[in-house]
Amino acid sequence: MKIAVCIKQVPARDSQPRVNDDRTWVRDQDASFEVNEADAYALEEGLRLREKHGGEVVVCSAGPARVAQALREALARGADRAIHVEDDDLARGDAFAVAEALAWAMRDEQFDLVLTGLQSDDQGFAQTGVVLAGTLGIGSATIIMEVDVQPEAVRVKRELEGGWFQFVTLPLPAVLTIQSGINQLRYATLKGIMAAKKKEIRKAVPPAGFASRQRIVNLYVPEKKKRTEMIGGSAPEAAKELVRRLRDEARVIV
C-alpha cells in the first residue's frame, strides 16, 4: 500500500513570534518551528497502516527550505522517503495554493491513500485536505477517528457534533483528514534519527501559477481590554436583556 502523508511546519506553540513589518505574517527569525500537531497524528496513522498492510509511507510538505527539518523528523519516526515542494511563498499560502502544489508534486506517484491533519495550528482553515482531494479528482472524508483499509476501499469513523459518529466507506484512492488524538504518537529513536540521514528527500520546485486566492490584509496581536456595562430595570427586565445580549451579541447561548 502506497500512502502519502502531508505535513506542515508551523510556529511552535511555546514560541512568541512577532508580526513582520508589512503586518501580513510573523517574522520567521523570531519563531521556532515544529510539525503541526494534527499532521503528526496523520503520520502515525500512516505508519500503523503500513505496518499492518505493507507498502511505504511518503511524507510531503510545501514551504521554504526550513521545512526540510520537519521532513527529517518524519523520516526519523519511520517514513520511507519525502517530497519537498520548496517555495518561500507557500509558507503563508492558502489551501488552494498549497493543495495545488502538493497535487502537482504527487502527480506521478499514484498513491492509494493520502492522509493530512484535520487543520493547521497556524491558520486553522481545515480546507487543504479537501481541496487536495478535489484537485487530485478523488474522494475524501474529514475528521477521521478510525481507519480500516479493505480491498479497494477504506472504511472510516468520522467525528460529528454532540458526541455522534458516522461510518463511511470510500473507494481507493482517497484523501482522509485525521483528527488529533486518533492514536498514540511514537517518537524518533536514535536508530531512526541515524537512518533518516540516508533517506531520500526529493525536492520539487513548483512552476509559477500556484498563487493564493486569498490575501492577508492585516495581522495583529489580539488586544486585551475590559468593559463593564450595567443593565438597569427590574429583575425580570434585566434578566431578559442579559439573555438577549448573551444570545445576539456575545453569541455564547442559542
Q: Per-domain residue ranges for the chain?
A: 2-204, 224-254
Identify which of 88, 69, 87 has the alpha carbon closest to the alpha carbon of residue 204: 87
Q: CA of 209: how far to CAs of 89, 97, 133, 146, 164, in Å?
A: 12, 9, 19, 36, 41
* Mean pLDDT across 218-243: 86
Model confidence at 54: pLDDT above 90: yes
Q: What is the pLDDT of residues 9-26, one digit of tens each?
A: 998 888 787 888 888 888
For cell 505496518, the residue is 51
Helices (H), the chain: 37-53, 67-77, 95-106, 128-136, 190-196, 235-244
Residue 83 neighbours by CB distance under 10 Å: 21
Q: Which helix (H) or strand (E) holds 61?
A: strand 56-63
pTM of the model as a whole = 0.84
Using DSSP, state whether 139 is helix, strand or coil: strand
**Residue 105, pLDDT above cutoff 80:** yes
Residue 216 CA from chain centroid, whole number? 19
If you write DSSP's letter for every residue of 13-59 in order, what string do you get? TT----B-TTSSSB-GGG--EEE-HHHHHHHHHHHHHHHHH-SEEEE
* Domain 2-204: CATH class, spelled out: alpha beta
